[in-house]
Amino acid sequence: MRNQQKQPPMVAPVTGRFAPSPTGPLHFGTLLAALGSYLFAKSSGGRWLLRIEDIDRPRTIPGAADALLTLLERLGFEWDGEVIYQSHRCDRYQQILEQLQADQQVFPCSCTRRDILASAPQVGEEGPVYPGTCRDGAYGERLERAIRLRVPDEEISYYDGILGLQSQNLEKEVGDFVLHRVDGLFAYQLAVVVDDIDAGVTQVVRGADLLSSTPRQIYLYRCLKVVPPDYFHLPLAFGRNGKKLSKRNGRIGLVDVENGVEMLWQALVFLGQSPTEELRDATPAELLCWGRENFQAKAIPMENRQIEF
């Protein structure tokens, strides 16, 4: 009888994604998230999906999504499958919300922001911690209701692929959080989790400004009995004024066709990679190809840093 060697287990390729909000033109901070998520997924032979997070309609700028997609194509990015728009998925979010309601994991809340500010015993990273006022029944007189997810008094811990072990007590540091807003819109935390589940996303690479959202999303995965993806939070780029580079900084750090290669080169350097000076004269496709073939995840720094343009 021949000895049979045990075959190593098959490892499914990762599925990553880039999920920008169409609230303005592409800037360096968003490019870091695009490039980082692209390199993590593509360097390992995985899929890279693209989703437009336009669920917050009041903040969405007409034409911004189309402009962003066109620019990403001009910069050499190629994504797998069709682009998903959150604004087209409200029926799905409602279905999941009703599932959570049937499981008695959510409750209606009539509190205004002023009510919460007046009654919150402590303040967390994102403002006053919701004290559970309406857990046992809507307390205030306001007829409109938000829907909140009931959270436990326990540590939600996970390992971030860049920043290491992370932990947060949801009840003490955040409180029961909103899934459906009082204005009738679905909240980011619900939409992003449902979208990632339905798309089969196994790897989330994004900026460290979303680090504090991750425990809420992991707990929501638990409520839905789904294994959460792996998380990697990239360092943030700050300007001379010490503030995070974003659309609010005017034209500082904006990315366009003319400066695209230089911005991609700068983004690779910012993420701890080592592109040569000669690559500053490459095409966007050549620069991304170099990034895929030479990507070193361990080289990504943990610290936020200042960058000047």
Burial-class residue 120 by CB neighbours within 10 Å (0-12, 13-18, 19+).
middle
Active-site residue, selected from the candidate residues 6, 243, 244, 247: 247
Exposure on the CB side of residue 165, measured as CA atoms within 13 A = 2
114: helix, strand or coil: helix
- Write the DSSP symbol of residue 304: -
Task: Enter the tokens of residue 84.
Answer: 């998903």
Q: How far is it, in rounded angstroms, from Cα 64 to Cα 214? A: 27
Alpha helices in the chain (DSSP H): 28-42, 64-74, 90-102, 113-119, 170-173, 188-199, 214-223, 260-270, 284-294
308 vs 291: CA distance, rounded Å: 22
* Phi/psi of residue 148, nearest 5 degrees: -110, 150
**Structure token pair of residue 294:** 């030479």
The Cα–Cα gap between 139 and 133 comes to: 7
User: Looking at the DSSP assignment, which residues form a beta bridge with residue 49?
Assistant: 17
How far, in Å, CA of 187 to CA of 196, rounded? 15
Length of the chain: 309
Query: Three-state DSSP class for 178?
Result: strand
- Give the bridge partners for 2, in sequence order: none
Tell me, yes or no, if 42 is annotated catalytic: no
Which class for 4: exposed (0-12), middle (13-18), buried (19 or more C-beta within 10 A)?
exposed
Residues assigned a catalytic role: 247
